[in-house]
Amino acid sequence: MAGLAPEHVAFLGECVAHNVYVQMLCWSETPTAWSMLAEAAAAMRMVRDGSSMSHPVGSLSWVQRVAPQLSEPLERERDAAESTLATMIGRLPVRFAMAVVEHERGERQGTEGARYRSLFSGCLTAYDTYLKSSGQHSVRIMIAPSQGDAKNDLRLAVYRDLLRHLDGTERRDTLELAFWPEGTPPLAMEVAQLAAAAVSRHLQEPTLVNPLFETVRTHLAPPSHFHALGGRTGRR
């Protein structure tokens, strides 16, 4: 990532539940988005310094599991954690592109490549529409959570093949895919993971109060694709 400015980096969030896969691409609209995120997280820690309280093993909320760094200052405010993080993310100049794929139970491993292709295609198609309408330049790299060497190699091969065949390739011909190694992820990746998990929770329980989902919906690009959240965008 040497030589890359923060606005040149986007992040992929992923979530799977009940055979439904959600992938969320998150990128900044301004050069200051990720620094704004770091400052907001630091301010939240400062305000709540000394007020956190550890919980017994197994009692972590879904927000704490998905975004431990961002949610750590909110341990004692579990009921308000989602709305607090939703407000913080809602103030950031970021956008999301979404892809959702449902697969049949017991599907063969050979279909993994097709699933990855559908997820990447959904996100990149929405992202390309955003670039076309906004006139902005593409990011140079998108970073995804690692799934181990074998799956990472498959994902990379599928991605590179797909990129050559999608319309709008000239707008993102330098967009590389990389995987975050084990260890503490960037805060921006936690935002992408929260977005994917929030959409997943909405798909499983549409009537559940879900402030993070509402924030994602308002930041989704292009907005016309939001109707896909009423059902599945693909089946593999």
Q: Write the pLDDT tens digit of every residue in 164-175.
A: 888 765 555 578
Residue 23, number of CB atoms within 10 A of its CB? 25
Examine the pLDDT at 178 and tell me if it is beyond 90. Answer: yes
Examine the pLDDT at 110 and tell me if it is beyond 60. Answer: no
Tell me which of 23-32, 88-97, 138-147, 221-230 is least confident: 221-230
Contacts of 10 (CB under 8 A, 6+ apart): 25, 26, 27, 28, 139, 141, 142, 143
Say what the pLDDT of residue 170 is: 58
Residue 26 has, within 13 A of its CA and on its CB side, a CA count of 34
- pTM exceeds 0.85: yes
Say what the pLDDT of residue 11 is: 98
**Every domain of the chain and the residues it spans:** 6-44+61-230
CA distance 135 to 39: 28
Where would I find the beta strands (DSSP E) of 38-166? 94-102, 141-145
pLDDT band at 226 (very low <50, low <70, confident <90, very high): low
Examine the pLDDT at 15 and tell me if it is beyond 80. Answer: yes
Q: What is the mean pLDDT of residues 84-96?
A: 96
Examine the pLDDT at 127 and tell me if it is beyond 80. Answer: yes
Say what the pLDDT of residue 139 is: 93
Are 25 and 142 in contact, with CB atoms under 8 Å apart? yes
Fold of 6-44+61-230: Nucleotidyltransferase; domain 5 (3.30.420)
